[in-house]
Structure 1
């Protein structure tokens, strides 16, 4: 069988990327530091996935093993040397921590073979593979970097599947929604792009990244921040609140207008994409905690992220992003004590005042119309 190395044996790794790789003829070696999880995967050599929704389904996944990278670094090196593809689903903030081992394994691999290899970071961010590449290259010599440039691809990707926070009696069971999308940049691939069921290789990845980011992520965050202000605990309950849904639809109308004009998406097709996204959020089996969806407001308020970026681009097109400005204002009121970033933002507001905090976290120019809109909306909550 073809060999895949996947960093991250968590729910997304098992319930999304790992399952597609196995379905496509790969044996998957999950890499993780969770000893209990690693040992259980190695004991069973398989796990179950439950597709939850209107048409429930159970899938049994086999041809898997796991490597504890903390306890068995040599096993990891050998797996990297022999891999036909490497993927990750560990969270953007963890990419830098796997880079040293990945760099060491690639250096060993390149001494043994020049077979092309693609490494795809399947993270909820823009440019995840490129970021991982920059971390890996910090641990390589100039000669090794040159060889990686020739034989190792880091195709950026857009991934989309809701895998909610869950606690199951079976630690390996994963519950996921029916919908799944995985797109990768074919122009960044090395050799023949691997054929993986569920993975679409595209030439204009930016369009697919922004479509997902500004529809699914923007919508999810908008609902969460508005729900938090009302004391609503979960997304499913929030989707029963007419005022929240109406505002989310206004946000989608704004981002949809941007995406259609910028990338030429068919308006009717994009309308269906929005409607599918709304249905996904209404799935009672996938309801997520509002505080989990809203977490990390410092990152979500960033200039290139899901709220400020579409608002800035809309203004540049001559449109007023009123709904987005409302959601950005709500995000500045997310003060959940269990979220480090939320507390950091609140401390910034207390320390420097709202005006300065908005500029610091969003990088919106203080003399711009968008800044005035956001400041007014924030103060109005």
Structure 2
């Protein structure tokens, strides 16, 4: 296997870890294993279907074997000491994880480039924008920017997708949907 392919395989656990942390934070889950076990979380769809399909296309991985590798990654999340990884620790520094070629936008861009579905990856990206941990400086900075300038502007600045592009609309749309759900969960009507 070529070096870029090997690096792509090594990046899969980091990508899954970040997705699980940001999605788990939205549901107020404490550890990565509880997030990965959450059937409603799109972590599996993002890794097994969307990112995997893009990696198979780009690096020529065997499409029958790659899902087995991804399942082994999920198995690692359930094993000690990884199972006890705290969502707050793993999700920290969301701006770094949202860098253009990093673990969230990298596979999203790759999947879009191949015309593959990106719904679950977009959900993970939007969740990173909603990651709100007071003890994390990047999280505080991101939340301040979102409050001051709004999602349309901040998503464009961070992702480098122009306002109105398909990618920008998808991420902002999911962000707004997750934000509404979070508000309803935290402040249900009586």
- Common fold, TM-score beyond 0.5? yes
- Output the CA distance in 1 between the equivalents of 2:115 and 2:72: 28
Taking structure 1 as the reference length, the TM-score comes to 0.45
- Output the CA distance in 2 between the equivalents of 1:366 and 1:211: 32
Taking structure 2 as the reference length, the TM-score comes to 0.87
CA drift of 1:363 comes to 1.2
Contact 2:132 2:139 in 1 (8 A): yes
For residues 290-305 of structure 1, the aligned pairs below 5 Å read 290-305=87-102
- Output the CA distance in 2 between the equivalents of 1:367 and 1:298: 21
Contact 2:36 2:43 in 1 (8 A): no
Gaps (5+ residues) in structure 2? 179-190
Which is helix-richer, 1 or 2?
A: 2
- Output the CA distance in 2 between the equivalents of 1:334 and 1:357: 14
Contact 1:303 1:364 in 2 (8 A): no
2:73 maps to which of 269, 277, 301:
277
- Output the CA distance in 2 between the equivalents of 1:238 and 1:316: 28
Moved over 3 A (4+): none
For residues 5-154 of structure 1, the aligned pairs below 5 Å read none
What is the root-mean-square deviation in Å for CA atoms of aligned residues?
1.4
Gaps (5+ residues) in structure 1? 1-201
- Output the CA distance in 1 between the equivalents of 2:163 and 2:3: 32
- Output the CA distance in 1 between the equivalents of 2:135 and 2:62: 41
- Output the CA distance in 1 between the equivalents of 2:167 and 2:132: 23
Q: Does 1:265 align with 2:61?
A: yes
Structure 1 residues 372 and 242 mapped into 2: Cα distance closer, same or farther (>3 Å)? same
Aligned twin of 2:188: none
Q: Does 1:362 align with 2:168?
A: no
Aligned twin of 2:4: 206
1:67-97, CA deviations, whole angstroms, 9 ceiling, x for partnerless residues? xxxxxxxxxxxxxxxxxxxxxxxxxxxxxxx
Greater radius of gyration (CA)? 1
Which is strand-richer, 1 or 2?
A: 1
- Structure number with the bigger relative contact order (C-alpha 8 A, sep ≥ 6) is 2
